[in-house]
Structure 1
Amino acid sequence: MNKTRLITTMAVFIAIGTISAQLIWFPAGVARAYPVQHAINVMAAVALGPGPAVVIAFMISLLRNMLGLGTFLAFPGAMVGAFLAGVLYKKTEKRSLAAVGEGIGSGIIGALFAVPFAHVFMGSSVGAFAFIPAFLVSSVSGAMLGLLVVTKLYNRSMARSNGRL
């Protein structure tokens, strides 16, 4: 993929993630769940790899914070999930493992990173057990959505290449 196409694809993912943050969310414990963010992490990890997926997650988190649509907790969850999803897909080429990586990366590891992050940047002393359920609900639902989209697109492209469409 050439650089222009890569940057354009990344910009589209960032735009979708930023716009969807104000449209599609639900309360989940101590946090808000943004499943489209996690779906984008899976899609970007599969389509572009771990590096671009992390950059996309960072930019969506940054824009959400600048627009008042999120908190600093968006950074650790999104970026760790995008990285793990990208690495697992790159190593195995299994889309399902990209979704698992997003769920574990954002839902568990990202939640654990959020504890000191919340303490330092937000003055909150909420523990990991408060973050993990909320992060898991958001990341697992989004990862399943991302896996569904990636699988449908893959099946459609395979049908097109086989002359069925």
Structure 2
Amino acid sequence: MEKNRTQKLTMASILIAAGVVCSPFSIPLGAARCFPVQHMVNILSAVFLGPFYGVSMAFITSLIRVMLGTGSLLAFPGSMCGALLCGLMFRYTEKLTFTYLGELLGTSILGVLAAYPIATIVMGEEAALFAYVIPFFISCIGGVVLGAVLVAAIQKTGIMSHILNDKSRQQQ
């Protein structure tokens, strides 16, 4: 059990580092910064680690990015809602299509609803409730495509079935 926990923490740390290192590769759209790498990381964490790790990783990555000045406060609700729904979709369906859809809807709809109070109250941005749907969706679609390509590549190597079989044995 301790070995599994260490492996999960190591993988989570690597994915957080990838998210932080790639954070300069973002596209500013108004108060939001489109950051497709975070969505790719959310998908990988959903498939290999689960929703708890995904949300924790999204929080830590967002915190580091905000501290470094490469992210905005809107990174928290967008990435965390996406990671949660994405992780839950994979956990309960084990279907990648639903996982990708979970990331897209979690970020673009739930993330926007959670970001609105932050944008208006904390950041002082004047915005309509659904003003961030398009920027969040654009950011997310790029990350979902990156994540899907990476997961497909991992599937072709046969590593994914090995990891998922280990994961299911440990849950029993």
TM-score, with length taken from structure 1: 0.90
- What are the Cα deviations for residues 93-118 of structure 1, in whole angstroms up to 9, with x where unaligned? 01121111000000111012111111
Distance 1:66 1:27 in 2: 17
CA deviation after TM superposition for structure 1 residue 29, in Å:
4.8
Q: SS of the residue aligned with 2:73?
A: coil
Distance 2:119 2:18 in 1: 26
Aligned residues: 160
Please show how residues 51-90 of structure 1 align to structure 2 within 5 Å: 51-90=52-91
CA deviation after TM superposition for structure 1 residue 125, in Å:
2.6
Distance 1:144 1:19 in 2: 19
Which of 18, 27, 33 lines up with 2:20 in the alignment?
A: 18
- What are the Cα deviations for residues 69-120 of structure 1, in whole angstroms up to 9, with x where unaligned? 1111000000000000000011110112111100000011101211111122
Q: Which residue of 2 aligns with 1:37?
A: 38
Distance 1:140 1:75 in 2: 18
Please show how residues 3-152 of structure 1 align to structure 2 within 5 Å: 3-22=5-24, 24-152=25-153
Q: SS of the residue aligned with 2:33?
A: strand
Q: SS of the residue aligned with 1:130?
A: coil
Gaps of 5+ in 2: 163-172
Distance 1:88 1:137 in 2: 21
Q: Which amino acid in the other structure matches residue 19 of structure 1?
A: V
Q: Which amino acid in the other structure matches residue 26 of structure 1?
A: I
State the percentage of identical aligned residues: 39
Q: Does the C-alpha gap of structure 1 residues 4 and 141 become closer, same or farther in structure 2, counting only changes over 3 Å?
A: same
Q: Does the C-alpha gap of structure 1 residues 160 and 45 become closer, same or farther in structure 2, counting only changes over 3 Å?
A: closer
Q: Is the 8 A contact 2:154 2:160 kept in 1?
A: no
CA deviation after TM superposition for structure 1 residue 158, in Å:
6.3
Gaps of 5+ in 1: none
Distance 2:41 2:97 in 1: 14
Q: SS of the residue aligned with 1:123?
A: coil
Distance 2:49 2:159 in 1: 19
Distance 2:59 2:160 in 1: 34
Q: SS of the residue aligned with 1:124?
A: coil
Q: Is the 8 A contact 1:18 1:63 kept in 2?
A: yes
